[in-house]
Chains A and B, each alone.
Chain A
Amino acid sequence: AQSVTQPDIHITVSEGASLELRCNYSYGATPYLFWYVQSPGQGLQLLLKYFSGDTLVQGIKGFEAEFKRSQSSFNLRKPSVHWSDAAEYFCAVGAYSGGGADGLTFGKGTHLIIQP
């Protein structure tokens, strides 16, 4: 069975500082990996995805993530955070059959707090 671990429940970062959110996964084959952000009152928004190819992927809002197969990790990074980045971040892994997407397995989320 696939699983996703986000070891940090809460992270506090000063505005303008760099950010790294950790994600480790367990999956039997090459996974499809995602990072989503959830803000109060809004749906999950896709930040970025990894399907194949270049292991460093760029996303929206200045985020990037690196897929490291040897470490089963897909950590999310941002060089300089903004107060508007405060939210809940979810890492997810998925599989795909010939008919399309399968359901995602999510990590428990990391709550990001931005200090002024």
Chain B
Amino acid sequence: GAVVSQHPSWVICKSGTSVKIECRSLDFQATTMFWYRQFPKQSLMLMATSNEGSKATYEQGVEKDKFLINHASLTLSTLTVTSAHPEDSSFYICSASGLVGDTKNIQYFGAGTRLSVL
């Protein structure tokens, strides 16, 4: 149980275009979802936290107008990178947590999305 699916796994886009990444909890209700960014050979950095039906909370230094997060249902959160530029190229990873059972206070991670902006 507690499976999180992330799509796409790899996306290439032109500079100035927008890219949407989806994160789905397949077998539990994800009351909270998180978005992380991982640079090559480095750790994961929390970008934002989203609770279902609420606006996302962004970490200091993360541009909320560039990284739009929507968490409209208990199983789906999306991250849209708007007007992407080469410096936005990175590995983006989502995670999800619920309120009951094995999902309580534990984050389950998607496989990540590698974004390359040309």
Could you tell me which A residues sit within 8 Å of B by CB distance?
32, 34, 36, 41-46, 49, 51, 90, 94, 96, 99-109
Contacts A102-B49, A107-B43; A44 near B105 (Cβ below 8 A):
no
Nearest-CB residue, chain B, relative to A99? B51
Question: What CA separation (Å) do A108 and B109 show in the bound complex?
Answer: 17
Contacts A51-B105, A104-B107; A109 near B43 (Cβ below 8 A):
yes
Decide if the interface of chain B is mainly helix, strand, loop or mixed. strand
Contacts A90-B43, A90-B44, A108-B43; A103 near B49 (Cβ below 8 A):
yes
Contacts A100-B99, A104-B107, A106-B44; A44 near B32 (Cβ below 8 A):
no
Question: What CA separation (Å) do A105 and B99 show in the bound complex?
Answer: 20
**Whole-angstrom distance between the Cβ of A86 and the nearest chain B Cβ:** 16
Docked-complex contact A43 and B6, CB < 8 angstroms: yes
Sample of 8 further A-B pairs with CB below 8 A, known A101-B106, A103-B36: A34-B106, A46-B106, A90-B43, A99-B51, A100-B104, A101-B105, A103-B49, A104-B107
Count contacts between A and B, CB distance < 8 Å: 63
Nearest-CB residue, chain B, relative to A9? B41
**A-B CB contact pairs (8 Å), 5 listed:** A32-B105, A43-B6, A44-B93, A51-B105, A103-B49
**Whole-angstrom distance between the Cβ of B44 and the nearest chain A Cβ:** 5
7 closest residue pairs by CB, A with B: A103-B46, A44-B109, A101-B97, A43-B111, A43-B109, A106-B43, A108-B43
Nearest-CB residue, chain A, relative to B102? A46
Nearest-CB residue, chain B, relative to A39? B111
Docked-complex contact A96 and B34, CB < 8 angstroms: no
Docked-complex contact B108 and A104, CB < 8 angstroms: no
Docked-complex contact B46 and A105, CB < 8 angstroms: yes
Nearest-CB residue, chain A, relative to B54? A99
What are the interface flags for B42-53 relative to A under an 8 Å C-beta threshold, 1 for contact and 0 otherwise? 111110010100
Docked-complex contact B32 and A100, CB < 8 angstroms: yes
Which of A36, A44, A45 is the most central at the interface, judged by chain B CB atoms within 10 Å of its CB? A44
Which residues of the other chain, B, contact A51 by a CB distance below 8 angstroms? 105
